[in-house]
Amino acid sequence: MKMMILKDFAQIWNSKIPDLSFVQNVQLIRLKHASCKKNLKRFGQIIGFISKTKDNLLNLTNSLNGFYAQVKYKVKEKLKKILNDKQIIEKNI
């Protein structure tokens, strides 16, 4: 189950979010279509939500990468200590 969730997350993360540069043209569209202002406002809100979500996911990914690096370092240090202790014990036997 966890692997499936991780796989789904990886697929979502690796998928490309479309370029949102067309949002700059919203003002021109509003001038041409005054009756659509409510729809355009909602569209802008959706784009804002997507951008915030993407930023949040990036921050979480950076945090996870940092935690992983810390754990990896600690595991390496513990492994070195265990191997060193093993050598000391073998010498004493």
Residue 6 has pLDDT above 60, yes or no: no
Kindly list the domain boundaries of the chain, sorted by start residue. Answer: 21-92
d(CA 46, CA 29): 17
pLDDT value for 45: 83
Q: Which residue has the tokens 């809100």?
A: 45
- pTM above threshold 0.85: no
Read off the pLDDT of residues 35-82 as tens digits, 9 standing for 90 and up. Answer: 666 666 777 888 889 999 999 999 999 999 999 999 999 999 999 999
pLDDT value for 14: 58
